[in-house]
A and B are shown apart, each in its own frame.
Chain A
Amino acid sequence: MRTRVKTKLVIVLAVLVVALVSVTPSLTGSLPGWWTKVLPSKAVQLGLDLKGGMELLLEVQTEEAVNNALSRMASDLKTSFKEKNIRLNRAETVGFNRLLVEVRRDKYRDEAAAAIREMFPGTVVTEETETRLAVSYPETEVARLQENAVVQAVETIRSRVDEFGVSEPTILQQGTKRILIQLPGVDDPQRAIQLVKRTAVLKFMLVNETASADSVPQGDVVRYGTNYDPATRTTQRTPYVLRDRVLLTGDTIKDARVRYDSQFGQAYVSLTFDSTGARIFEQVTGDHVKERLAIVLDDNVYSAPVIQERIPGGEAQITGSFTPEEASDLAIVLRAGSLPAPVKILQKWTVSPSLGSDSIRKGLMSILFGFSLVIVFMVFYFRISGFIANTALVLNLVIIMAALALFQATLTLPGIAGIVLTIGMAVDANVLIFERIKEELRSGKTVRAAVDGGYSKAFLTIVDANVTTLIAALVLFQFGTGQVKGFAVTLSIGVLTSMFTAIFVSRTIFESYLENRTLEELSI
């Protein structure tokens, strides 16, 4: 055998071996230990549509982050103005990036403006009326706050999801304020959404027992507590009037754990504060014995126990009629911290695992069926040459799967469709070559010359034809999301591998088949 043909055969066999080795992890569930040490052991990654799971696209309400910062500024101002004896009417955010500060009398205004400029250098303070000031952040600061909010939201969500126990989650920032979250295999999407979406701002506030929900003193707020009664299957909403001061926030939490009540086995969440938090909590409980302290999370009152005595040690509890899952999720969000701004769900997509496995079954069915039909047809039409094309086709399929596994590309349902389509189109190159060979044979050339001529004449046509498909596939990849991207990936890989197998592999087989024979006629 000529060495050139031999070298080519060796290359083909080497590719086959590499491909088979790479595909193996996807075919078997368990690999021997020595395998995982030296050989690629990653299976083809299945997309959410095949595995089941959830995809969320969130938008961080970054305007809120700016306003939250202004609100915090307002509460600092209130305290400081009290010390400086500046009488304040109100200090609250109105619209976006605008904090209105209204003093009782015009004589306080300039003092207030000076105090704000001193406390918060860099903010823009404008005088609106004799008694009113507006405070806002300059544009660069607004941009920084918004950017930070998104980065921080990604981090917070990531740590929540990590603790939730999802294998291989994807959490990515998209654009300036969107976050894409993929949670494969999640079987309770509702719970996962709650976990991701919850702002989780924890506040400790005193209950104003003297006021009722109908007549709320200025500055005080009404918040509701919900209580689910399993006996009657009803939920009750209890209003609480809360005093206009946040005594302590969730920022000072060091740890949060689920515990169980020793008497009834009821789940509750136990909080541990850091040293600052512990000091404040001890002081607050000492100052307000016999009053009710409301624990407010995202504007819902979880519990409002009466403080019996000063509580040292920096521990608190949140009780409620929690299921163990609810308590565990609550502990997770408290540990991971609050989102810097609320998030809005822009897009949600969940697929149940049962639909996913159904899709895999049908996808594989259609691959198998389409593949068999093509194989049978090729042998029927091109005889021995068809057999050679089929060998290339099988190798093509193996290489596509191997490439998917090696690059860790995600196989989606449209991706399977891409493979099916590739099978149909992959024979195109061989059909082109074979029809050329037939023409050459008809013009009276010898078998070997006809084969050479067929391959070389069809070569550029094949390249031109495939490059255009590749252009379409690359555009798809650039613009597509999730599923569609999966299709673009398999289509691109398929175009490349089918060119390789149809041109190089089938020719090598042809040449080695013709090597030691002098054929009068070709079975084509």
Chain B
Amino acid sequence: MDFIKPNININFVGKRRTALIISLVALLIGVGSLVLKGGPRYGIDFAGGTLVQVKFTDAPDVGRIRDVLTDKGMGSAVIQSLGEEKVSIRVKSEEGQIDTASDDVFAVLAEQFGPDSVSLELVEMVGPQVGADMRRKGMLSMLYAMVGILIYITLRFQFRFAMGAIAALIHDIIITIGVFSLFDKEFTLPVIAALLTIIGYSLNDTIVVYDRIRENIRRTPKDMLASVINTSINQTLSRTILTSGTTLLVVICLFVLGGEVIHDFSFALLVGVVVGTYSSIYIASPMLLLGGRGERAARTSARQG
């Protein structure tokens, strides 16, 4: 069975300007949203603070919870309803009382709603100092992953390929971060993990196409580079769609069935898989043309694979 006809020949490279515009618009919207909202919305892990998730026996009235907390001087708490019975309450990090913030919140709720009708499900407390540490570590880990990958691709292919792959990666990450900002989702440690996975996944895709480009360059060194790239993308298109399809299938399962704890995490993966697939076709491969469009394939002499 074939979804994609074997002799398909879509002119991907020819549409690279349109793709570039689409990408630029997406990047601009993402970056614009980040600028307007004053940077990414950091979760507890990075910003510091206290998060308390409480389960009620009856559907709670969020308004009443807010009133109760405001009465006790915790008016700045962010209250969010998670489905029928669960509520998450986030208290800002303030030096001094951070140790006891979760206990205070719970004590107030237990007093107001009755100790038997509320139960504590999750407490996350991160001191401001640790939060800053985590932010630094998170950024560093993305940087190190990219450097590692850059070195590997340069060794296995050529520096030009590595640049294309990294450009696609940065593209994917900024867009994913932008979508997060647009949907007002929080940046947490698991989301960083998701971003690193997207790096891995997007590269997986890019390398499959690159591999084919390298093979075709050796087979038809006299062809124009642009057409070699096009042929390669078309030849691997069926595989790209199948793999992205199955991955998307399971990531959707994770998103729908995985529960609210990993909701943001699977959302990041969802966005990343889609953007990653797109970028390996429209960004990573056409990037090889930078520096000489009318070039013959042979000049891009890829290393022996």
Contact = CB atoms under 8 A, between A and B. Distances in A.
Given A350-B123, A484-B193, A366 B253 contact: yes
Contacts of A487: 190, 193, 197
B246 A413 contact: no
A424 B124 contact: no
Size category of the B interface is 35 or more
B275 interface: no
Interface of A: 49, 57, 189-190, 344-352, 354-355, 358-359, 362-363, 365-366, 369-371, 373-374, 377-378, 380-383, 413-414, 416-417, 420-421, 423-425, 427-428, 431-432, 435, 438-439, 442, 460-461, 464-476, 478-481, 483-484, 487-488, 491
20 contacts: A346-B130, A362-B258, A366-B253, A366-B254, A366-B258, A373-B253, A381-B1, A417-B269, A420-B258, A427-B243, A427-B246, A461-B212, A468-B149, A469-B200, A469-B201, A469-B203, A472-B148, A476-B141, A479-B144, A484-B189
Contacts of B207: 461, 464-465, 468
Given A373-B249, A464-B156, A476-B145, 19 more contacts: A345-B98, A345-B99, A346-B127, A346-B129, A349-B123, A366-B253, A366-B258, A371-B250, A377-B249, A417-B265, A424-B246, A432-B243, A461-B211, A464-B207, A465-B211, A471-B145, A472-B199, A487-B193, A491-B197
Interface stretch (B25-33, B67-75, B234-242): B234-242
B123 A425 contact: no
B127 A431 contact: no
Q: Across chains A and B, which 7 residue pairs bring their CB atoms closest together, nearest first?
A: A370-B250, A424-B247, A469-B200, A472-B200, A362-B259, A370-B253, A479-B141
Contact of B250 (A189, A374, A460): A374
Interface string B36-57: 0000000000000000010100
B290 interface: no
Contacts of A383: 1
Contacts of A380: 1
B248 A424 contact: yes
B269 A421 contact: yes
A377 B203 contact: no
B122 interface: yes
Contacts of B148: 471-472, 474-475
Interface centre among A365, A431, A439, A466 (most CB of B within 10 A): A431
B117 interface: no
Given A352-B122, A483-B189, A464 B211 contact: yes
A466 B126 CA distance: 35
Contact of A431 (B2, B192, B239): B239
* Chain A CB within 10 Å, residue with most, of B137, B262, B269: B262
A480 B189 contact: yes
